């Protein structure tokens, strides 16, 4: 249960970081370069594959900027 709570907390923190960057009118590339996941990458990060960090940030950015 603690692992699920930690994963949820990390997700919320990263979402909030990306949203703050979007509010500053940063582009996707700028957000990726800013590394909003920097302190979680040793535990959760990946450079390739379905769960690659840049892909995760891209999906999150697109989700937060899509017209609803």
Q: In the chain, how many domains are there?
A: 1
**Spatial CA neighbour of 55 closest among 68, 46, 64, 43:** 46
pLDDT tens-place string over residues 28-44 = 999 999 999 988 776 66
Domain that holds residue 60: 2-65
Eight-state DSSP code of residue 46: -
Q: What are phi and psi of 35, to 5 degrees?
A: 55, 65
Question: What is the spatial distance between Cα 43 and Cα 56, in angstroms, rounded to a whole number?
Answer: 15
pTM metric for this prediction: 0.81
pLDDT tens-place string over residues 45-55 = 666 666 678 88
């Amino acid at each position: 249960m603690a692992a699920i709570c930690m994963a949820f907390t990390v997700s919320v923190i990263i979402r909030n970081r990306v949203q703050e960057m979007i509010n500053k009118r940063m582009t996707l590339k700028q957000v990726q370069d800013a590394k909003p996941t920097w302190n979680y990458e040793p535990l959760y990060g990946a450079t390739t594959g379905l769960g690659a960090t840049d892909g995760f940030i891209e999906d999150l950015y697109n989700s937060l900027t899509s017209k609803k």
